[in-house]
Chains A and B, each alone.
Chain A
Amino acid sequence: MNKKKSVLIDTNFILRLLLKDIPSQFKKSRQLFKEIEDGEVFGLISILVINELIWILENFYEKERKDFIPQVLKVLSLKKIKILEIKKKDLIFILEKMMEENLDFTDLYLLYLKKQSKHDIASFDKKLLKKTA
């Protein structure tokens, strides 16, 4: 039986697909995501990559969340995309929350971990602490 190839995907591969601004990189990125869509390859994504992608889109490209989170969710919707650290459904939940709340990815991830573990959060961030009350 053939074991499917798995690839760790870096932030720039997702970014170039979504921006399509560097043709040579876009071509390689599109090809990989098409292979993932066709079930030929497993794409492995870390939440660190997702965090970096959000940072860059918000701070360098100055995009609003409503203008890029739906696209990130569509990338995650591909069946052969796996998330390394948490369940995909939990990451989807965090990203959907980002569109509703003015909290960053790290805050929402901490809230997710708190819910999972029942640990308290130690923080000086009043906005975050208000959510834990």
Chain B
Amino acid sequence: MITTTLSIKNQITLPKFILELLGIESGDKLLVHAEEDSISLQPVGKSVVDPLAGSIKIPKDKKGVPFEKALSVTKKKVAQKLARNE
């Protein structure tokens, strides 16, 4: 654990050994998340978008289903749930 100081521009300097340990390079993006009483920084490499591509896995029979079809099935299912008062 090491102390770092917040600058007047709300910037912090991360220790080099931590960056090396985690393989973080300048230009990499970090996801900042507020926890109960701390802040976490999750390295995501150069892009947030690229790892998101295809990151939700779906079964083969649902691949390529047109949006309108998925939406219409969804509406029916939601209506049934509401009718059952779930």
A residues with CB within 8 A of B: 11-12, 15, 17-22, 26, 30, 33-34, 36-37, 52, 55-57, 59-61, 63, 67-68, 71, 74-75, 77-78
Contacts and interface: CB of A to CB of B under 8 A. Distances in A.
A74 B70 contact: no
Contact of A21 (B64, B73, B78): B64
A94 to B, nearest CB: 15
Interface of B: 31, 44, 47-50, 52-58, 62-65, 67, 70-71, 73-74, 77-78, 81
A17 B49 contact: yes
B45 to A, nearest CB: 12
Contacts of B49: 17, 30, 33-34, 36-37, 78
The 7 residue pairs across chains A and B that have the minimum distance between CB atoms: A20-B54, A21-B63, A12-B67, A59-B77, A60-B70, A33-B49, A59-B74
Given A37-B49, A60-B65, A71-B55, 5 more contacts: A21-B54, A21-B63, A30-B50, A60-B74, A67-B56
Nearest to A15: B67
Nearest to B71: A56
A125 B58 CA distance: 31
B31 A71 contact: no
A74 B63 contact: no
B64 A20 contact: no
Contacts of B65: 60
B48 A55 contact: no
A21 B58 contact: yes
Contact of A60 (B47, B50, B57, B77): B77
